[in-house]
Structure 1
Amino acid sequence: MSEKTYTTDIESCNPSDCASCTANCSSAGGNNQGTIPKVPNPTIKLTLEDDTVLECAVLTTFPVEGFGEYIALVPLNENGKNTDGETYLFRYAEENDAPIVTNIEREDEYMAAAEAFHDFIANLKSEAELEEEGEN
């Protein structure tokens, strides 16, 4: 996988913004922190070892204590859809405002990232919960 190709375009947000955003903007879920936005996710184009380019939607970035920052990506087909629910986890960093995505090589690091991502998903609020909060 190459670390050089990346594209995104959701107003002025960067992919890392949603995981730690405190702004009240519609693309970050407003006051509904801990939710995946209902707007199209930014995408990253990964160049694989065989030089194929795979476009992935960015779900979120998230920290893992003792290891660093990670990114969760969903591979998209030629129609911009994900039909199998597969999610990829990578290390994530920024250098000179450019995102750097790298493979997770160690099993203990991958397990920690997978557990943190699972916790993130488990703590997402459902639409019903968000509507209930809005009524209160």
Structure 2
Amino acid sequence: MSEHDNYSEQDIATVTLTLDNDETVECAILTIYEVDGHKYIALLPLNEEGESEDGDVYLYRFIDTNPNEPELENILDDDEYEIAADAFDEWMDEQEFEELASDE
């Protein structure tokens, strides 16, 4: 993770990822969450205008042993990825429920 911006209510926290092909992608941080003692981060890729194009979400293992420079790791194990993805889906469902409840 090479860049992390603090955010206010108008801004979104972002990170810049460098992919294996050396392409850089700006991503919004959706959430950092914990499952079975491991932390994960969900990132939403953004285009040049700061908007999501295709709705894909990237999930990574989040390691924060150094608070000034947390690290992201690929989730290589299929079972671990499924656990992380299921927990993210539950988080998304909670967000939708809270949004519906606040609209009433």
TM-score where L is the length of structure 1: 0.68
| Contact 1:45-1:56 within 8 A present in 2 as well | yes
Tell me, in whole angstroms, the C-alpha distance in 2 between the residues paired with 1:74 and 1:128. Answer: 22
Task: Summarize deviations over 1:9-43 as a string: whole Å, max 9, x none.
Answer: 226xxxxxxxxxxxxxxx5xxxxxxxxxxx43200
Q: Which residue of 2 aligns with 1:107?
A: 78
How many pairs are equivalent? 102
Contact 1:61 1:72 in 2 (8 A): yes
After TM superposition, give the deviation of residue 123 of structure 1 in Å: 1.5
Structure 1, unmatched stretches of 5+, are: 12-26, 28-38
SS at match of 2:55: coil
Aligned to 1:81: 51
- Tell me what 1:33 maps to: none
* Equivalent residue, structure 1, for 2:4: 7
Larger Rg: 1
Structure 2 partner of 1:129: 101
CA RMSD of aligned residues (A): 1.7
Once the two structures are superposed, residues 84-119 of structure 1 have per-residue CA deviations (whole angstroms, 9 ceiling, x without a partner) of: 111110000113212111100100000000000011
The question of 1:56 aligning with 2:53 is answered no
TM-score relative to the length of structure 2: 0.87
Q: Which has the higher contact order (CA 8 A, sep 6+)?
A: 1
- Equivalent residues of 1:71, 1:91 under 8 A apart: yes
Aligned-partner Cα distance in 1 for 2:85–2:26: 21
